[in-house]
Amino acid sequence: MRKDRFFKMVLWVSGILFTLIILSILIYLFKGSYLSIKTFGLKFLVNKIWDPVNEQFGLLPFVVGTLLTSIISLLLALPFSLSLAILLGVFYKKGFLNKFLSYATELLAGIPSVIYGFWGLFFLVPIMRKIEIKLGILPYGVGILTASLILSIMIIPYISLISKEVINMVPQDLIEAGYSLGATNWEVIKKVIIPYSRSGIFAGVLLGFGRAFGETMAVTMVIGNSNFLPKNIFSPSNTMASVIANEFTEAVKDIHLSSLIQIGLWLFLLSIFINFIGEIVINKMKVKGEK
């Protein structure tokens, strides 16, 4: 009984501690951005001009850059992630190939983001320049598509590893029942494995999207750091995280610093909103009998 009470007390203390941490972050961000909120109001959200010299600040270019890089990277990563998860979770559950690919995927997840940034800057950017020259586009090399490619490689491990673990949890009797009815491998995957594990797979996708949404260093190194609305996916741009990383140490005016903190506030709120919507979707996608 004493151990149970102690365990419950630890859980309560941990829950209260995490709540206080979240509230303290929110309070600090709101306090730091109050000057910007008071000065610009809601116009800050729709203004497309970011000009520290003339003290004009708007969030719109960075919201567009963040959404474009996150969504494009997710679309690029999803086919490879699900294919790898199905390969390791259905066809090669054991053996050398499973161990090798699992280790390689975990290694990719553990590589620091700055390493991805260096690799993208010295390897991927020259390739993108050649492609842009052939397409008749200004050969920046850096830009939204380059950053999206880097992000897609970074989030593949998160989606694939979680999806693989969820697929491995599908009851074997359900799979064998599908085969006993004459279903092919594709039919079992499509009608048994994916429906049963869809909520877990979506959780992995949501984790990958959140990773891409808030990534800073790798994106900062290859996105081009332009504070204008991008004209196309090859254009240089900035994300909400990258503009903070670029300008925070150089912000000498109070309104400039407050505007950067307000970007952090909106990034924090959007992250909470995405996770909240994701939790609702995951609960709706759960099959009967799944906990």
Residues 149, 182: Cα–Cα separation, whole Å: 40
- 141 close to 132: Cβ distance less than 8 angstroms: yes
Query: What pLDDT does residue 289 have?
Result: 43
Per-residue tens of pLDDT for the chain, all 291 residues? 566 676 677 778 778 888 888 889 899 999 999 999 999 988 999 999 998 888 889 999 999 999 999 999 999 999 999 999 888 888 888 888 888 888 888 888 888 889 999 999 999 999 999 999 998 888 888 999 999 999 999 999 989 988 888 888 888 888 888 888 788 888 888 888 888 888 888 888 888 898 888 888 899 999 988 888 888 899 999 999 999 988 888 888 899 999 999 999 999 998 888 888 877 777 766 654 444
pLDDT of residue 286: 61
- For residue 116, what are the contacts with CB-CB under 8 A and spacing of at least 6? 150, 153, 154, 218
pTM over 0.75: yes
Domains and CATH numbers, the chain: 33-285 (1.10.3720.10)
Angstrom distance (rounded) from CA 244 to CA 36: 15
C-beta neighbour count of 23 within 10 angstroms: 10
80 and 156 Cβ atoms separated by less than 8 Å: yes
Tokens of 199: 């909520």
Residue 288: the pLDDT is 47
